[in-house]
Amino acid sequence: MKSLAPQTTDEPLTRRRFVQGSVLLALCAKLNLAAAQPALAAQKTAQAIPELHGNEFDLVIDYSLVNFTGKLCVATTVNGSLPAPTLHWREGETVTIRVTNKLSEPTSIHWHGIILPNAMDGVPGVTFAGIEPNTTFTYRFKVQQAGTYWYHSHSGFQAQTGLYGAIVIAPAQPENHAVQGDHVMLLSDWTDEDPMRLLQKLRLQSDYYNEARPTLQDFIRDAKQHGLSDALEARKMWNEMRMSPTDFADVSGKTYTYLLNGASPQANATVLFKAGDKIRLRLINGAAQSYFDVRIPDLKLTVIASDGQDVVPVTVDELRIGPGETYDVLIAPHDAAYTVFAQSLDRSAYARATLAMAENLQAAVPHLDAPQWLNMDDMMGDMDERHAVRHKASEYTPNNDMRVDTPRRNLDDAGVNLRDNGRRVLSYADLRSVLPQADTRAPSREIELHLTGNMGRYVWSIDGVTFAHSQPIPFKLGERLRVVLVNDTMMLHPFHLHGMWSDVEDENGEFLVRKHTVTVQPSQRVCYRVSVDALGHWAWHCHLDYHMEAGMFRVVHVS
């Protein structure tokens, strides 16, 4: 088997920069642009995402020029679009998708959350060889589900440079919720930097993009509020742990421009509605590295689906969505205009769009919330011994300098920077699948994995082992498993198991919700059951692309 998806290199970036420069020059010449021009006006108008309907699709992956910040950059696009076209399928039908690669390197498309034959999953080196330049690969499979999903490249950092798009699958039976408007809201993060260069910066200084680190001014403020002794003790504690209380995200608004439907906050994607409309918004996080906290000021969000699966409706003011996750929400607008506001978890910047009754109407854009500090539960787990959970030890290694002895199990916690904000915030404990578990068997065995890392070296691992030194995890066809994920780090990890569903349990082992991507918060223990019903090799990884690339990736072998 050839090398699998997450790979890194210490080679100079000369060739990569040469290829990118050559592509930029060629595209500029083709479009009659001055390639030497240092900057152009950033895109000011949002462009509608193309929509494709039917059973047969032709997708062409190529380079395109984009400009979100005033700098002309090369993106990886599908049919010339960023995001890629939204694909509309119907449950029960067979789709054929011909993907042609016009890049100078291999590519791929993974159909995220779609249950399909192993050879169609689209992970190079795991389920197929990839799509070589100037070749066409045909995906063909029966659509066995309905709801909101998405697709993206699983080759290098092509998803970071633009190769991602939405999938909307109409159910075979009538919809459970009648709406007058139905709109995709696809969140993502864009950087003008070469992603490999960005990764190198993180390896040299893991907090390079963190501009929320505690400052002298913060210390003076804390000393005034809590006293000099307490302020000094707090700083001493963090320094001894070699941790930062504001280590929320590796990559921030320092380099990222956050996009909603491919539009920057300045371009402001706009969705029109009529008075009295009930609207479904299909929220998708297609970001490489960013969590978003989404709200629409003055509107309630009624959550009706998670990861394409219907849930018992729950009404909230705000929700957090991790990379790979999707949520469907219903809204009932009554004013002329609203802002869809999606601030990054670290509160460094935001994406936004407008819902309006007419063109050129806008609503006020909220200020970013002030970041909170990680607390002791985030760092050390459940400090109350009455709730301590016995689990295997996660040993300290060069790839793992963190460990949580008593992980917390509070799925009703929305997470850092959402606590006590005065709004009703969604948590996993609020989610209840409409359909009961299809497989009611008790698990026959348990697999426990620790999500580990060494921030000083910017290495991410599972059980202290990076992907390069790992062995496939054996699953047996037909078995029912319980998976236990323990997060020994201070960062959130959205974990995605390809090819099979994850039936999330509550603290008492009762079924909550079926998902394909499960966020594990800092120092948290999350359990889910898996019915092993798909032969072959399958990817299982953190959906933060830079974590996956740095080692937090495994292959499951079902036999």
The three-state (H, E, C) secondary structure of 19-88, written as one string: HHHHHHHHHHHHCCCCCCCCCCCCCCCCCCCCEEECCEEEEEEEEEEECCCCCCEEEEEECCECCEEEEE
**pLDDT value at position 11?**
42
**pLDDT value at position 8?**
42
Q: Are 257 and 343 in contact (CB under 8 A)?
A: no
Q: Backbone phi, then psi, for 274, in 5-degree steps? A: -110, 155
Sequence-distant (6+) residues with CB within 8 A of 40 are 67, 70, 71, 72
- CA 538/CA 112 separation, integer angstroms: 12
- CA 326/CA 306 separation, integer angstroms: 6
Cβ neighbours of 90 (radius 10 Å): 16
Q: What share of the chain has pLDDT > 70, as a percent?
A: 85
- The mean of the pLDDT values for the chain is 89
Q: Backbone phi, then psi, for 79, in 5-degree steps? A: 55, 35
Q: What is the pLDDT of residues 507-554, one digit of tens each?
A: 999 999 999 999 999 999 999 999 999 999 999 999 999 999 999 999
State the DSSP code for 391: -
- CA 63/CA 70 separation, integer angstroms: 18
Residue 391 has pLDDT above 70, yes or no: no
Q: Are strands 181-191 and 279-285 parallel, antiparallel or unpaired?
A: parallel
Kindly list the distances between the CA atom of residue 476 and the CA atoms of 171, 504, 506, 554, 556, in Å, as whole numbers in the listed order: 31, 20, 25, 16, 10
Give all strands of the β-sheet with 269-272 in edge-to-edge order.
269-272, 350-356, 337-344, 292-295, 318-321
Q: Which of 6-15, 339-348, 429-438, 526-535 has the lowest mean pLDDT?
A: 6-15
Residue 38 has pLDDT above 60, yes or no: no
Residue 31 has pLDDT above 50, yes or no: yes
Q: Which of 132-136, 190-194, 355-359, 392-396 has the lowest mean pLDDT?
A: 392-396
Residue 5 has pLDDT above 70, yes or no: no
**pLDDT value at position 64?**
97
**pLDDT value at position 235?**
60
Give rounded-to-5 percent helix, strand, coil for the chain. Answer: 15, 35, 50
Q: Which of 506, 507, 497, 559 is nearest to 530 (CA)?
A: 497
Cβ neighbours of 216 (radius 10 Å): 7
Residue 337 has pLDDT above 60, yes or no: yes
**pLDDT value at position 221?**
61
**pLDDT value at position 26?**
67
Q: What is the mean pLDDT of residues 311-321?
A: 98
Residue 316 has pLDDT above 50, yes or no: yes
Q: Are 213 and 205 in contact (CB under 8 A)?
A: no
Q: What is the pLDDT of residues 86-129, one digit of tens each?
A: 999 999 999 999 999 999 999 999 999 999 999 999 999 999 99
Q: Which of 415, 412, 376 is nearest to 493 (CA)?
A: 415
Give 304's strand partners: none
Residue 233 has pLDDT above 50, yes or no: yes
**pLDDT value at position 2?**
34
Instruction: Report which of residues 45 and 298 the model is more confident about.
Output: 298
Q: What is the mean pLDDT of residues 337-354?
A: 97
One-letter amino acid at 314 equals: V
**pLDDT value at position 13?**
46
Sorting pLDDT into bands at 50, 70 and 90, what band is 40? Answer: low
Question: Can you tell me which residue has the tokens 């349990």?
Answer: 505
Sorting pLDDT into bands at 50, 70 and 90, what band is 21? Answer: low
Sorting pLDDT into bands at 50, 70 and 90, what band is 14? Answer: very low
Q: Are 252 and 349 in contact (CB under 8 A)?
A: yes
**pLDDT value at position 3?**
39
**pLDDT value at position 15?**
46
Q: Are 554 and 448 in contact (CB under 8 A)?
A: no
**pLDDT value at position 159?**
98
Sorting pLDDT into bands at 50, 70 and 90, what band is 27? Answer: low
Question: What secondary structure does DSSP assign to 104-143, as a single string?
Answer: SS-B--EEET----GGGS--BTTTB--B-TT-EEEEEEE-
Q: Which of 304, 273, 293 is nearest to 350 (CA)?
A: 293
Question: Can you tell me which residue has the tokens 């070469």?
Answer: 194
